A and B are shown apart, each in its own frame.
Chain A
């Protein structure tokens, strides 16, 4: 069974600091995703990572994928309050997407 582990589950950061969220998964996968969810809202797709060594960046967020280690990271650079949300990684094996538990990120001034 495909399992996805994410850590940390809770992250409180100060503005301007850097941090990394980790996502491990148990079996080979077709694709790895990062989603953002704001309170009371749906899931917003941030990144899709397709191959080993893939790196994608959008603003202060950068995601990478190491398929050999079955590890993806989401790096936050110089955090700002607007990044406060819950971040999920998810792994997709043809019509079957499994999510990590989510990282609840709070960025404090």
Chain B
């Protein structure tokens, strides 16, 4: 049973398209995150949600919109994709009082 699962694993799409990445965790954690890892391996937090509420929204273009229908899911929708959006996107979850974040396996997004 995968603790944090992301779909799809790979996504190749053309510039200007709209796409979504889905994330689900079965750990019962209250907090979920999206991180972006660029080609130089830099990991940057994009969003965090606690119990469906947005608590961190870093300087991310408005084209990125997270949606949390319930505390087990945090999806990422991206409008009007650009070449610079190509990266690996990681979903993660955590729980207060429990040390450590659990990361999904990542979604490699390639915009052509």
Seen from chain A, the residues whose Cβ lies within 8 Å of a Cβ on chain B are 31, 33, 37, 41-43, 45, 48, 50, 86, 88, 90, 92, 94-99, 101-102, 104
Contacts and interface: CB of A to CB of B under 8 A. Distances in A.
Interface residues of B, number: 22
Closest CB pairs A-B (n = 7): A99-B43, A48-B99, A43-B103, A102-B41, A42-B103, A42-B105, A95-B31
Contacts of B48: 95-96
A31 B43 contact: no
Contact of B100 (A48, A95, A104): A48
A94 B45 CA distance: 13
Contacts, number: 47
Interface of B: 31, 33, 40-45, 48, 50, 55-56, 90, 94, 96, 99-101, 103-106
